[in-house]
Structures are given as C-alpha cells and as structure tokens.
Structure 1
Amino acid sequence: MTGTYHNALILPVSGDKPWFWGWLSIGDDGRIAGMGEGTPPADAPLPRHDLDGAFLAPGFVSAHSHIYTAGMRGVAPNSPLYEWVTLNSTMLLGAEAEDLYWMTMAGGLDHLSSGITSVYNFTQSRVLALFDYEESVLKAARVHPPEFVTAQVDGLAAAGIRFVTSVRLDDEQLGEDAAFAGFDEVMTHLATVDPALDLGGSVYGSVQWSSSPATAERERALMDRYGITNQAHFVETAEQIEIQQSKFDWYDAAGVLGPDFAFGHFVHPTEDMFTRVRETGSAVVWQPMSNGRLGSGIADVPRLLRDSVTVGMGVDDQSCTDVSDPFENMRTGLFLQRGKHSDAAILTPLDVLVLHTLGSASAMGVADRVGSLEVGKFADLLVVDPRSPHLGPIWDPVATYVLGCGLRNLREVVVGGQSVWHRDVVDPRRAQADSELTERMIASAAQSGIHPVVPAHRDQDRTSVDDQRSV
C-alpha cells in the first residue's frame, strides 16, 4: 500500500534526532520511500493519512520469543526456571503438529496486537524433552517428525508477522544423522514462506543442556552450512550455575562466538564470559520481565552497553512474561536497572526504545530490513495516540512514549505498509485462533492429567493446574 503519513510525531530510532514533527511515505514495495520534517512534498504518494499529532514509530522487535506458549499463561506462578519449563513441556506432551500450528498462529497475532512486527521465534522442538536435574540435560519424552516444526513456521506466516525461525538440533536425543536431516527439512521448508515475512533461519543453541562439546561443534557446522545465526539460552538462572558456566568454553572452542551468535539472557556470566563476548563481537538478548517473573536475576545490561556489546530485548514466553507487551518490558528493564544501581541515569528511555527496536534487529542480524524508520527499510510502523487515553502535555516525546504510553494507546500496527491490526477493527482470524488455541491446549494438557481451574465451557468440571501438577 502506498501512501503518506503526516502531521506525526516521528520517532525514527536511528539518525541524529530522537524525534521530529513530520511525514513518512510508503512505496509500492511496502518499504519506506521518503521521510522528513514539516509537511510532505507535493509529489508524496497518495493517499494522505493525517495522524493529528500521534506518534509514528517503528514496530517493536522481539529478539527472543517462544510464540507457541500463549495457552500456558499463569502456570507455575511461583516456580524458578527449570520447574516452570518442565511443567510447560509436560502440558505439551499431548500436542500434535496441527495443534502447534494454531498455538503459533495465535501467538503471532498476539504479538502483532502488542506492536511487535518482527520476532526471533524459538520453535518448540520436535523432541519434547524434560529437564533432568541430576544430569543437567534434556531427556526426550516424546519425539515428533519434522512436520511438528514446519507447522509452526506455517502458523507464524499465516499470522502475518516477520520472523526468524530458530530450530533446536537435539543431536543427543535423536542421533546426529536424524538431527541434521530434520534440521535440513525445516530450512528447506522456509523457501515456501513469503520472502517478505521470512527473515531467515537460525540455530536454537542448546549447549546449556547438552552433555558433550560435540553439540557446539555441530551447531557451528549448521551455521556454516546455511549461513545462519545462532542464539543460545545461557546462564539464565542461578540454578546449577556452575554447570552452566562450565559449558561456555565449549562454544568458544568450537568457534561459534562472533557477530552471528547471541546469548539469550546472560544473567549470571563470569568475568571471562563478559570479556569473550566483547572480544568476539557476540550479542546479548535481554528479557527483563521473564527474568523477573522466574526469579532468574537481573542482567548487567549497562556494563554490556559500556563495552559496546550489541544488546536486544525480547518478550520471551507468553507463559513466563504472560503478556507480550514491549512497553511494559521496556519499563520493567529500565526500572530494574535504575533500582539495582541506585542511579536514575544508568539507562534512559531512549536507550530501552533503541534496545527493543534497532538493537533487537541488530542482535538478530536483520537490522538492514527492520528496527528503525529509514528509507529503504520495510514500512513496519506503529501509530500510538497519546491523547487516547489522554496523557496530558508532551514535554519530552521519547519519555512520554516509553514511560507514559502503553497498549491502551496503540491505535494501529502496519507491516509492509499494510494495516494488520487496528483497535477499532475486529480480526476474525484472532477469534478463531484464540478458540483453537484454548481447546487444543486443554486437550494436550489433559493427556498428562492437567486441567484448568476455569474450564473453556461452563459445563466442564476441572481441577487446577497447581493441584494436579506432579513435577
């Protein structure tokens, strides 16, 4: 869709000015064709969209999401990471590929309605595994064919969000040959996705839960084979922290660290880990709401930024962040850092806005296409109205956007110049996806004897997850 937005408070995220009053035009290719201060030129594309002073900002980028988890909000509310994730996996043991399609589609639509237009998505592996506390590894509980993963790719594409597809190798659970063959099948399937939505494949790094350095070497081989990135959950929780930290050298020795590699979380690194991340140009992706909810800790993001490490932000699981709200995620991170350091200037509103847009895109390796308002990039835009509800005078546009605005102010989400969500327009896909998600999640969990305390239908009589869980 071509057209020109004008009379807008523009937050470009990149460039010399954090904000300006002006216009932005979209070309036939769905990319930003022009932008500037003041009124648009006479030859700017039609139609004109007068924003009447609303914010026009880049869509948020979540550099770390597990999109299929929207049906498990509120589970294990007082548990640390490994207890929580074990319950999640147990609840999914009854799920099939079609179930994951709908769960993923619902999660993608939920992300879009929260202003997230691009996402790094950790797919649910074809191997449903449970964490073994004694050996600190993942052990297979149920194994699916690769269609279990490709169905998630299709569900996310159907939602209309841009995405990186992250796939876990599961070499120790499947054997090396079967693991590589399954990974190859998913990467081949990505060629069937609309190239405007497909931001590429990636390795779902899993050395933290492996028993041998061979996993790091195999992940390196996949990165080389496909020219793709890798993001690994690492030192997220204080549980078994010495074991986690001891596996860092496996990645380093395999030559995995570098600009194509990111550590997800990185809450409890050693001094050597800080040093090697800086020296190798690796990135870090921060999930403040998730880390707080699970009691995992607070990542030292100010230090990483001082060391010029690329840092992005993610909303993580919808079952441990519980609401995929990047406004809340920015504020949570900002306030945690200020409180931890007793320093109100340790991070600024502009800092966290950049982290959840351009920083995330950079950590994902897609900053050439998304993450900021720049000519040539995809026209992925948010219209945020500070007067509905009214926030009063705007003294500092960036501060008002980050500290005062929220999902209640989000008016419209645009991907590639096309409106994909509007608060005044009902999307029938969302109602269907939410219904399918609910019914299918209940059915999957029921096979493990887990039932919601509030049933999907009033005539059902179920007991609570907390009463029945046995993990």
Structure 2
Amino acid sequence: MPAPSPALTIVNAVIITMADGAEWFRGWMTVGDDGRITGLGAGEPPEPPQAETSDAVEGDTAAAAGTSAAPTGEVLDANGAFVAPGFISAHSHIFTSGMRGMTPGDNLYGWVGEQSTFISGAGEDDIYWFTLHGCLDFIGNGITSAYNFTDSRIVGRYDAATDRREIFDVRSERYLQRQVDAARHSGLRVLTSIRLDSEFQPPEQAFEVFADAVAYVEQNVPTELNLGTSVFGAVQWSESEQAARDEVRAMDAHGIGNQAHFLETSEALDQQREKFRWYEEAGALRDGFLFGHFVHPDTSMAEKAASSGSGMVWQPTSNGRLGSGVADIVRYRDLGMPIGVGLDDQSCTDISDPFQNMRIGMYTQRAVHQNASVLMPRDMLRMHTLGSAEALGVADRVGSLEVGKFADFVVVNPSSPDTGPVWDVYASYAFACGLRNLEKVYIGGVLVSQNGVSVHPHATSASAHLHDRVRAAAARTGLSLAW
C-alpha cells in the first residue's frame, strides 16, 4: 500500500523547526488529514509514491513505474518566507480582551482591583464573547496554544493592605463553562486553568465544583484542542495556609499541575514571600508546579523551587507594563528550571504580540545583566514555543515542527515589508520581524488567519459583541470608557 498523499504540502520555505539539535533549513513540510506533520526536509519534497495496480499488462510495467501521481492535497508555496512553530502563551487570561488600556498608571493591585470591579458587571453571555474575541486575537497574532486562567465564579476584590478578599457574589456554573465553550469554538488549543474557589461553603463544595469543571472540559472539548486542565494557583490572594493544602489536594485528586501567580509585584513583598512556605509545607513544589511571574523570590526560594522540579512562566511585557520588575531568567535557567513564556492579560500587554514579548524579554535581560549575549534570539524563541510546551507538559503535541506533532505554524515574510538581507535567521526572525510580517497562521494544517484577518465565521460578530457588551458591563459598575 502506498503512503497516503498529504493534505497539505509546504514548499520553498525557510523552516525553523525549534526541535532540539536541528537547525533551520530551506525545504518542505507535509501535513496529514489528522492535522499532524507527516514529513519535512531540505530541498524539494519527494515525489508521491505511485499507486500499485494489479491489472497492468506485461510491457506496461516500466511505463507505469516511471509515472508519478500528482499530489491530491493543497500546496502552499512559502516563496522563501519563514515557517516556524506557532507561539505558545504559557500564562494567559484571555477573557480580558476588552480591557486594553485600563488603568494605564497603576501597578498590579490597583490595576487588578479596577479589573475586578469591571468584570463584576459581566454575565454568562458576556464572558463567552469576551473570551471568543480574546482567543481569535491570540490566533491572529500567531499564538496557536495557550494556558488560560478562566475567570473565577467567585466575584471579589483583594485588598493587599489587609491581605483579605472581599466577596461580592457567586456566579453560576455556566459562567465558567461558557469560557470553555468559547475557547473550544475558537479553535485555539487550550490548557484550561480553574481556580479552586475555597470561599464556597461548606468547604467540600469547592472540591465538587472543581471536579465538575474538570469533567466539563474533558467531556466537551475535542481531544485535539484539549491540552488538559490545571489548578489556578491563587495563594497570593489568600489569607489562610489551608488554601495551599487545598490546591495540592485538587492536584493529587485529578493528577494535574498548578500554575500559581506568585511574587509578581514588589508591593507587600514580605507578605507574599511568607506564602512561599505555605506551598512548600503543603507539598506543592514538584514537577508540574509552575510559578507564574516569580519576579521577586530570594535566593533560597529560587533554589528550592528549582531543586523540586518546579518551573516558572515569564511575562516580560506584562511585568514591564505594570511596573512589577524584571524576573532573573538567567539565574533560573542556570538553576535548571523549566521556563515558559506568556502574554498574560490582553489588558496588561494591550497588544498580545509574541514578537514584541520576545524583544522586551531579550532587551530587559541584556540591560539588567549588561551583557548582550546573555539571552540570544534562538533561546528566546525556544522559550516562547518548545520551552513553553515543556513547562506545560504538552511538548509531545506542540511547540516544535516535528513529525507526529500538530502542524501549528506561522508563515512570516521578512520581505513584506522588507527587513533587508538576512544575516542570521534567528536574529532576523526575533529581532526584525513582527506582526506586520505575519502572513498566515495554521492550526492543525488548516488556515485560521491571513494577514491579520481571522477566517473564523464569527470573527466580525465577536468584535461587535465585545464592544457592545464591554460598554454595558462598564455602565453596570459605574465605570466609563472614552468611547
């Protein structure tokens, strides 16, 4: 039996696989009907195999053997453009797509307080459209997989001065489910993060609610889009050590990881650092536990986290926008910590731009260490693709262009607009290219965005819903927009 013809063949591409031990090359890649990569290599793709025929008469065999069947699938001529893995945002709050530019001069606690006030005015349908718009925005910017912190059913506001969370309301189960629905409908691959809402009474109810949410994801998200579930670590916002123990119980019960917002801001720093002990004594530090941000640990905390197998996820644009500080990525790398990279909120990166995120990350590390070679373009690109996949435990499916993995890739043209001659492929890609050069985005070998325009059938209505629903939610909470 001959091998099946590919559903998609990419030719004439500069392929940046990001696979360890492999360098870029000029060549081709093929994708099967299941959306996975079936082959790639330098030069021209091999001729498709000839179909066997059982009724060829003697004398026709030689002629038949020299005939190649034409490819039956789509052929994409990249015309010399870069073809690279889709970006992975290993830390995202996608429902915030309508909050860009909010509180432009606030640090973390002031910013998140205003955000909490706004979102308290949103309902089940609102959060669906907010999330769908955010997912399509991610995809249009070349992000093909994301770790997504869903907005909690508990409506509250944290006060750093008292280290307490004031609870306003409890939303319905559908509020969380609609966020899962929106991500599914967008086509983005998502690892869904769910907060263990310990405010539920009696306390056992929190675990039942969490289990129901995990089951909803497993039952309703197609396998190819479902990268799993995770605990939304919230000890930074908690007032009791029991919160850490509860999160570990949920991790163990479901066999899942945890990404904790931790040591993000310099505000109330001693108070935050005390809570590291809560996680340590609860047994949370292990493979699969991630510190989101991790900007301000002391030396002992960093060493304990690394030796336990825990990783961290870095948000360079967000940390700069909120004045949070600069994470010492070089130190964490030297300690052997898995490091992923995220775009965080659209409301604190404003443009969910992975190219900008890479540049801000590289440039701040170089400035802090006063060493231009301390973080190189290939290293940074790896963190935002394969490194993020490794940190999230999904590198068997996404993060690099390798046979058997999903064909999630971007086509980036350094000639449109022209960025000049290419001296170094990784440097040209990470330093000189950006969203203006992003021509196409594919998920599973299927075109999902072209020249920044989504091909999703609900993209236009998602934008209209976002504008109308953000205004309405703001009005309910007494907030006002410029327009």
* TM more than 0.5: yes
Partner of 2:476: 447
Name the counterpart of 1:461.
Answer: none
> Within the alignment, does 1:170 sit opposite 2:175 as a pair?
no
Q: Give the drift of 1:173.
A: 5.3
Partner of 2:292: 264
Match of 1:338 among 366, 371, 374: 366
Give 1:26's aligned residue: 31
SS of alignment partner, residue 268 of structure 1: coil
2:210 is matched by which residue type in structure 1?
F
In 2: Cα distance, 1:53 partner to 1:340 partner: 36
Residue of structure 1 in register with 2:91 after alignment: 64
Question: TM (normalized to structure 2)?
Answer: 0.92
Q: Aligned residues: percent identity?
A: 48
- Equivalent residue letter for 1:70: S
Counterpart CA distance in 2 for 1:118 and 1:256 is 25
SS of alignment partner, residue 320 of structure 1: helix
Equivalent residue pairs, number: 454
Aligned to 1:358: 386
What is the CA–CA distance in structure 1 between the aligned matches of 2:131 and 2:216, rounded to whole Å?
16
Higher deviation after alignment, 230-239 or 8-17: 8-17
Give yes or no for contact 1:54–1:385 (8 Å, CA) kept in 2.
yes
CA–CA distance in 1 between the matches of 2:439 and 2:186? 19
How do residues 125-204 of structure 1 correspond to structure 2 at under 5 angstroms?
A: 125-172=152-199, 174-190=201-217, 191-204=219-232
- Cα distance, 1:214 vs. partner? 1.2
| TM-fit CA distance, 1:425 | 5.7
1:113 is the counterpart of 2:140? yes
Q: Which residue of 1 aligns with 2:318?
A: 290
Q: Does 1:97 align with 2:140?
A: no
Gaps of 5+ in 1: 455-471
For residue 46 of structure 2, the aligned residue among 37, 41, 45 is 41
Choose from 424, 427, 434 the match for 2:463.
Answer: 434
- 3-state DSSP of counterpart to 1:230: strand
Displacement of 1:426 in angstroms is 5.8
Indicate if the aligned counterparts of 1:18 and 1:398 stay in contact, CA closer than 8 A: no
* One of 64, 82, 92 as aligned partner of 1:55: 82
- Compared with structure 1, are the counterparts of its residues 365 and 138 closer, same or farther at alpha carbon in structure 2 (3 Å cutoff)? farther
Instruction: Report the Cα distance in structure 1 between the residues aligned to 2:326 and 2:302, rounded to whole angstroms.
Output: 15
Contact 2:94 2:131 (C-alpha < 8 Å) held by counterparts: yes
CA distance in 2, matches of 1:201, 1:360: 16
Deviations 1:285-324 (A, max 9, x none): 0000000000000000011111111101000000010010
Over 3 Å counting, the alpha-carbon distance change for 1:332 and 1:419 in structure 2 is same
Over aligned residues, Cα RMSD in angstroms? 1.3
Shift of 1:138: 2.4
Q: What residue is the counterpart of 2:53 in the other structure?
A: none
Matches within 5 A, 1:385-404: 385-404=413-432
In the TM superposition, what whole-angstrom CA distance separates every residue of 1:171-218 from its partner, at most 9, and x where no partner exists?
Answer: 035542221122112111111111111111100001111122211111
Amino acid at match of 2:188: I
Correspondence list, 1:275-354, <5 A: 275-354=303-382
| Residue deviations 1:296-355 (CA, integer Å, cap 9, x gap) | 000000111111111010000000100100000000000001111111011000111000
- In structure 1, distance between residues paired with 2:453 and 2:315: 31
CA–CA separation in structure 1 for the residues paired with 2:469 and 2:205:
28
Q: Distance in 2 between matches of 1:116 and 1:18?
A: 22
1:335-384 per-position Cα deviation (integer Å, ceiling 9, x unaligned)? 00111111101100011100000111111111111011111111101011
**Which SS does the other structure have where 1:247 is aligned?**
helix
Amino acid at match of 2:23: P
* Corresponding residue of 1:247: 275
Could you say what secondary structure the match of 1:172 adopts? coil
Residue 381 of structure 1: which of 399, 409, 414 is its match? 409
Residue equivalent to 2:19 = 14
Deviation at 1:18, TM superposition (A): 2.9
Task: Assess, with a 3 A threshold, how the Cα gap between structure 1 residues 425 and 243 changes in structure 2: closer, same or farther.
Answer: closer
> Within 1, Cα distance between the matches of 2:295 and 2:313?
10
Local SS of the residue matching 2:458: helix
Cα offset, 1:41, TM superposition? 0.7
Q: Matched residues in 2 for 1:327 and 1:373: separation?
A: 19
- Contact 2:159 2:165 (C-alpha < 8 Å) held by counterparts: yes
Contact 2:94–2:134 (CA<8 Å) still a contact in 1? Answer: yes
Which amino acid is the alignment partner of residue 226 of structure 1? H
Specify the SS of the correspondent of 1:390: coil
Once residues 439 and 241 of structure 1 are traced to their aligned partners in structure 2, the CA distance between those partners, rounded to angstroms, is 39
Of 236, 240, 249, 1:221 maps to: 249
1:414-433 mapped onto 2 (5 Å cutoff): 414-423=442-451, 427=455, 428-433=457-462
8 Å CA contact 2:136–2:454 kept in 1: the answer is no
Counterpart AA for 1:33: T
C-alpha change, 1:11 and 1:248, in structure 2 (3 Å) is same
| CA deviations over 1:133-171 (Å, ceiling 9, x no partner) | 332232212210221111000011111100011011120
Instruction: Give the Å deviation of 1:250.
Output: 1.0
